Amino acid sequence: MSAVKAAITGASGFIGQYLVEELLQKGFNVKALVHKTALKIEDSRLEQISGSINSEDSLQLLAEGCDLFFHLAALLGSKGQTKKEFFQINAEAVKKVAAVCVERKIKRLVYFSSAGVYGKCGGVVARKEDDPKNPIDFYEKSKWQAEKLLQQFRPQLDILILRPGWVYGAKDQRTFKLIRQINSGLFFIAGNGRQKHSPILAEDIARLTLQAALKAPPNETYNLATETLTIEEIVQTIASALKVKQKFLKVPLWIVEPAALVSEALFFLLKKEAPLSRAKLAFFKRGKPLNTEKINALLPAEKLTHFSQGMIDTVSWYQKAHWL
């Protein structure tokens, strides 16, 4: 019996790399769409295809002969992209992916959405999959739009939608910025620190993703996270992993937000990532706590890494890699 073949977009991204490794470890043949950066993985079962999710030719080549299709590629928006760019990549391209999956008779499309689709939700009470959606920024709105667009492809295509919490781990440059700033000692908490987030280690989300793809009933949606913590708990846990002993100042948002607006406008003109922006303040201002009862019921045997241990391991990797 031949091995199951899986296609994946966003393969060279942070989560994508972990998912490719998980698929290979579990005996899959993998076809990976890479845009700018090739994967540094040498395995005869891995076929890398250079292309774009906006190209139907690339998607057709990627999907050919595959059983599962994992769509992770997305525009995160760290350098001031426009609304049009967000919706073109995060929503319209998803329609192209789904259409190709239908044509190629893919057994299941696994779509990586975002906890951001819940949007403005109070940031304290954990959100369930069927709770109201109130996305705020272009990224969140484009991801929610993609989820709605995918509904038109059901039931001819089995679509599994995953909404991950805050994913962290070795090699992650976005989380590294937070860790580096806390390590510097020049860090403050914007707001009261009581908003909540639901972290999950990259290795764990790769494992959960594959197991959900194999075991979930048709056309389901799941939140993916390990636990829910306040921002203050997250910051103190990171500081503990770094062995930084410090009480962090809390600065009211009404002081920080005007500075973020100026920084964002200036760096938008420079086409560079702003060191302080509304998007970065959103982490402090709008929590994204996730209720994970549904995925825990599906995969009760999966042992996930607690944030305290996961952060110790992550910091250790950064130190050994001389990032810190």
pLDDT digit string, tens, across residues 106-162: 999 999 999 999 998 888 999 999 999 999 989 999 999 999 999 999 989 999 999
- What token pair was written down for 311? 């952060």
Range with the lowest mean pLDDT among 65-69, 273-277, 320-324? 273-277
Range with the lowest mean pLDDT among 91-105, 106-120, 211-225, 268-282? 268-282
Residues 298-319, mean pLDDT to the nearest whole number: 96
pTM equals 0.94
The pLDDT of residue 79: 61
pLDDT digits 0-9 by tens, 16-39: 999 999 999 999 999 999 988 899
Report the 10 Å Cβ neighbour count for 309: 12
- What token pair was written down for 130? 């069927």
The pLDDT of residue 36: 80
pLDDT digits 0-9 by tens, 161-211: 999 999 999 999 989 999 999 999 889 999 999 999 999 999 999 999 999
The residue count for the chain: 324
pLDDT tops 70 at residue 80: no
pLDDT digits 0-9 by tens, 63-79: 999 999 999 999 986 56
Mean pLDDT, the chain, rounded, equals 93
The pLDDT of residue 267: 87
Using pLDDT thresholds of 50, 70 and 90, give the confidence band for residue 1: very low
47: which strand partners?
Answer: 31
Residues 87-96, mean pLDDT to the nearest whole number: 95
pLDDT tops 80 at residue 290: yes
Return the C-alpha torsion angle 306, 308, 312, 317, nearest 10.
50
Q: CA-to-CA distance for 119 and 131, rounded, in angstroms?
A: 11
Question: In order of start, what are the domains of the chain with their CATH numbers?
Answer: 5-168+199-226+288-304 (3.40.50.720)
Q: CA-to-CA distance for 14 and 109, rounded, in angstroms?
A: 20
Q: CA-to-CA distance for 139 and 85, rounded, in angstroms?
A: 10
Residues 68-95, mean pLDDT to the nearest whole number: 90
Return the C-alpha torsion angle 46, 7, 174, 207, nearest 10.
-90
Terminal CA-CA length for the chain = 47
- What token pair was written down for 30? 């993998």
pLDDT tops 50 at residue 324: yes
Return the C-alpha torsion angle 172, 174, 179, 181, nearest 10.
150
**C-beta of residue 132 within 8 angstroms of C-beta of residue 94:** no
Return the C-alpha torsion angle 204, 6, 98, 120, nearest 10.
10
